[in-house]
Amino acid sequence: MNKSGNVKIFDIHTHIMNNVDDGSKSIEETINILKEARKAGVTDIILTPHHYKTVFENSKSLLLEKYKELVNVIEREYLDINLYYGNEVYIFPEMDKELDKYFTLADSKYILLETSFEVHQLYLENEILKLIELGYHPIIAHVERYKFVQNDIDLVDKFIEMGAKIQSNYASIIGYYGKGAQKTVKKLLKKEKIDYLASDVHHEQTIYTYLPEIIKKLGKVTSAEYLEELMYLNAEKILKNRNIVNNLA
């Protein structure tokens, strides 16, 4: 919600690109998701298909081709959404040596990272630190969904102290991912530990259609100013960091 009372959303975590991961299954589904997004107040979207070694590995050239296709779709359908490309990278050992294989967010130095939901991997902190030393800004995706974070919420402080940014999913607050994620996100919101809220949308008729209900709930937990940062302003700063690296190089 911005100062004029309108909902304005910059979504930095989505699986809208069709047929590249476990997200949208067809171009038709993608178009439907984009229409839902616009209706919900989303004006800017970063496409972040999974980059998950041996599970989802798409070449950058394929993703770029599909990105251009979707930009055309947006124009054809008059959807008025700014589209950017990126990846959600599943953290793996020595991932800093393969920076040419995956996209940062919108040509910036911000990288969206995910890790195991169950296990606190031994290499996690080390990989994050290495990226920070190289001048990148790692964003830990849906931090409230990891069991090891739910069991030890102070780990979020540790990630922040290391220099990482924190992303949570919109639907966690309504219990979409279970009680553990719901409780954890509430605590983190109250302490203002989160930097970005994002949809992590995979399919039509899911997160975007729940957004009005979710935003109402969020309004009861956080201040309007902080919510505006989470929904739009902090994501906008990622764009100001663009062109420092060129993913096409």
Kindly list the residues in this chain that would bind Fe ion in the complex (CB under 5 A). 88, 200
Nearer to Fe ion, 207 or 230 (CB): 207
Provide the minimum distance between the beta carbon of 28 and Fe ion in the complex, in angstroms, as a whole number.
21
Strand 110-114 vs strand 82-85: parallel, antiparallel, or unpaired? unpaired
Provide the minimum distance between the beta carbon of 223 and Fe ion in the complex, in angstroms, as a whole number.
27
Return d(Cα 74, Cα 70) in angstroms, integer. 6
Nearer to Fe ion, 34 or 198 (CB): 198
- Report yes or no: 212 and 185 within 8 Å, Cβ to Cβ: no
Instruction: Give the three-state DSSP class for 184.
Output: helix
* Residues in CB range of 155: below 8 A, 6 or more apart: 120, 148, 149
Provide the minimum distance between the beta carbon of 229 and Fe ion in the complex, in angstroms, as a whole number.
21
Q: Which of 17, 43, 45, 11 is nearest to 30 (CA)?
A: 17
Provide the minimum distance between the beta carbon of 22 and Fe ion in the complex, in angstroms, as a whole number.
9
The pair of structure tokens assigned to 110 is: 């911000």
- Report yes or no: 11 and 44 within 8 Å, Cβ to Cβ: yes
Provide the minimum distance between the beta carbon of 13 and Fe ion in the complex, in angstroms, as a whole number.
6
Neighbours of 10 (CB within 10 A): 24
* Residue 112 exposed, middle or buried by CB count within 10 Å (0-12, 13-18, 19+): buried
Q: State the residue number with the nearest CB to Fe ion.
A: 200
Nearer to Fe ion, 14 or 234 (CB): 14
Nearer to Fe ion, 11 or 88 (CB): 88
Provide the minimum distance between the beta carbon of 200 and Fe ion in the complex, in angstroms, as a whole number.
4
Nearer to Fe ion, 1 or 128 (CB): 128
Nearer to Fe ion, 88 or 204 (CB): 88
